[in-house]
Amino acid sequence: MIRQNDIRILSCDCITPFGDSSATCEALLEGRSNVRQYPLLGNAEEALVPLSLFDEMHADLPPRWFKIVQKLLAPVCGPQWGRADTPVFVSSSNFGVDSLYYLRHEGREDQLPYAVPHSSVEQIRKVCGWGHNISLCSHACVSAHIAISCASDALASGAKQALVVSYDFISPFVTGGFNALKILNGQAPKPYHCAPSGSIALGEGAAYAVLALEGEGPTIRAQSTWNEMFHYTANEPEGSGFAKLLEPILPLLDKERIWLKGHGTGTVEAGRIEAVTLAKLFPQAPLTGWKGALGHTLGSCGLIELAIALRAMEQGRAPGTVASQKPCFTENIALKPFSTKPYDAVLILSNAFGGAHAAMCVSND
Amino acid sequence: MISYHISKVFSIAPYQGEMPQELKQSLAEGLARGALRRFSDSGLHAHAALRELKTQESELLVSASSFAESRSLEEYIDSFPSASPARFQRSVHPSAVQQARVPNSAPLRRYIPLAGQEGLAITAVRTALASNEDNVILIGGEECGTWSVGIQAGSETGYAFGLRLMKEPGKDQPPSLGTISWSMDYDDKADKDASLQHFHSQLHTRSSYKASHPDMGSITLSWNNRP
């Protein structure tokens, strides 16, 4: 779809193990990675896998993500949110599913209030003092993009402002699943690196954005989605999904003046398809990916990486593809930080199970 | 207020526990032989709804469910410490629609999977109508959980519905069966129950109703010809 209205981002921030969006952007500009090796399910004797965590996985009350999200959302707490004309959109691929896992496997019945999506969000709603107008969007790793598109629709149909929130934290539920799919192994991720095998790292974090049709701030100029439905966990191998995603918004973009924040998890096939397709469509544009430093923050990656991209544009330098190395799939992969001054906008892409793709183009005016 | 016309309805009656075999067979119509065992109950719901509503790739699909893949989630959690890749993949929230679309490589331009509980019917209808798309498919429902039901983390009732919605009935379009509307205004005389299951029960019996929540606004379902 193509949005007909520009959407203003009045404020946007994230929290990662590095800190807020400014601290995270700074860490990435310095080439630092928070990815470390942790036991797969949190027990010492298990195989090690690359994760970017705030602290080790464990059951806690409230869950260890809760206070981190609460801290992030302090600027957007209050009863003005969650009303008919100020809707809240919360996205996640996990919500509080870690609590359901711990409840079942460790008998932690105290986890129940956080164990399903709506109860998890209800705990956030109560602590933030919001009203009840909250939509929950969950579309695996494009969840945050979907929430932003729903918020955009709400604004176009009369809402004054919309708040988008996304959070994803790591638990054995997630690490066990990605390991079973054989895409989370012992290797550290090197996004877009041309090698016989690759791996992702899983990461955690949260972000929010306040959106409106009018006001001061960066602008979401275009949004698009495409769901390939070619395979449950893989993309169509010729890259048609990326091309179909961008087809409706390409006429709106100035190809010469755009930089690309790709999905780039570190898996070989998906990275190759993405890099090659984007290099064909945007031969002049530098392509960078940050999951080698942050891990893949799952359904929240679109919003977390938007917050970092905004800080990068404010200071005029974008982080490179931290933790990767040559040879890369294409010449336009930026391994080192680069100036954003020659560019007017960034195209932010995410990719999910089912060949779900999402993109948004954001300019700094 | 935003209103869309309803041009087609899909609905299955509520059931509890295991899905009745007869229902399962009827929902599975059109599936390749042997494919049924790869479907969860919610996947079958989605398959039947999208087949009945003849969903096209250019049409917006909105799906709504509080618990989504309850059984796959339960089975996946119980598969630890040897986590099952198939159950993990099926436990992901939009898996039901993927089960229905992936075997036929049937893409969708725009798909919005919603979760939630309180006022989920209002959220789902508003999401569908606020999209401003010409044609929208809205589906929803629950599959029955097992151990998750006892801790209110799964649904004890299975049900499913689907609506084909159009902004304007054109000359080549089917006749309007009724209208569905969303307004930002609260109506204190309207039904307070804006749950998805209550919405389904009204839709299943083709009853007109209005549900409202002070923070979410109101939805109205009205039928042109009651059976």
Going by pLDDT thresholds of 50, 70 and 90, the confidence category of residue B175 is: confident
User: Is pTM, for the whole model, over 0.90?
Assistant: yes
Query: Is pLDDT of A152 > 60?
Result: yes
Query: Is pLDDT of A3 > 70?
Result: no
Q: Tell if the CB–CB gap between B215 and A225 is shorter than 8 Å.
A: no
Say yes or no: B192 contacts chain A, CB-CB below 8 A: no
Count Cβ neighbours within 10 Å for each residue of B159-183 and write b for 16 or more, e otherwise. Answer: bbbbbbbbbeeeeeeeebbbbbbbb
Q: Parallel, antiparallel, or unpaired: how do β-strands A258-261 and A287-288 relate? A: parallel
Amino acid identity for residue B88 in this structure:
F
Chain A (300-339) residues lying within 8 Å, Cβ to Cβ, of chain B: none
Q: Which pLDDT score, from 0 to 100, does residue B33 have? A: 78
Of A1, A85, A100, the CB nearest to B109: A1
Q: Residue A40 corresponds to which tokens in the numbers above?
A: 């797969």
Domains, chain A, with CATH or none: 8-212 (3.40.47.10), 219-363 (3.40.47.10)
Q: Tell if the CB–CB gap between A138 and B94 is shorter than 8 Å.
A: yes
Q: Pick the closest to residue B26 from A261, A202, A104, B15 (CA basis).
A: B15
Query: Is pLDDT of A2 > 50?
Result: no
ipTM above 0.90, yes or no: yes
Q: Residue A258 corresponds to which tokens in the numbers above?
A: 């755009």
Say yes or no: B157 contacts chain A, CB-CB below 8 A: no
pLDDT digits (tens, 9 = 90+) for B198-210: 999 999 999 999 9
Query: Is pLDDT of B225 > 80?
Result: no
For residue A26, the tally of other CB atoms under 10 A from its CB is 18
Give the C-alpha separation, B161 to B49, whole Å: 7
Contacts of B140 in chain A (CB under 8 A): none
Q: Tell if the CB–CB gap between A154 and B119 is shorter than 8 Å.
A: no
Residue with tokens 């959109």: A89
pLDDT digits (tens, 9 = 90+) for B49-87: 999 999 999 999 999 999 999 999 999 999 999 999 999
Per-residue pLDDT averaged across A133-146, rounded? 97
Going by pLDDT thresholds of 50, 70 and 90, the confidence category of residue A254 is: confident
Amino acid identity for residue A61 in this structure:
L
Q: What single-letter DSSP state applies at residue B140?
A: E
pLDDT digits (tens, 9 = 90+) for A314-331: 999 999 999 999 999 999
For residues A259 and A288, is the Cβ–Cβ distance under 8 A? yes
Contacts of B77 in chain A (CB under 8 A): 100-101, 104-105, 173
Query: Is pLDDT of A4 > 60?
Result: no
- The rounded mean pLDDT for chain B is 94
Say yes or no: A181 contacts chain B, CB-CB below 8 A: yes
Beta carbon pairs, A and B, within 8 Å: 178
Give the C-alpha separation, A70 to A79, whole Å: 15
Q: Which pLDDT score, from 0 to 100, does residue A1 have? A: 47
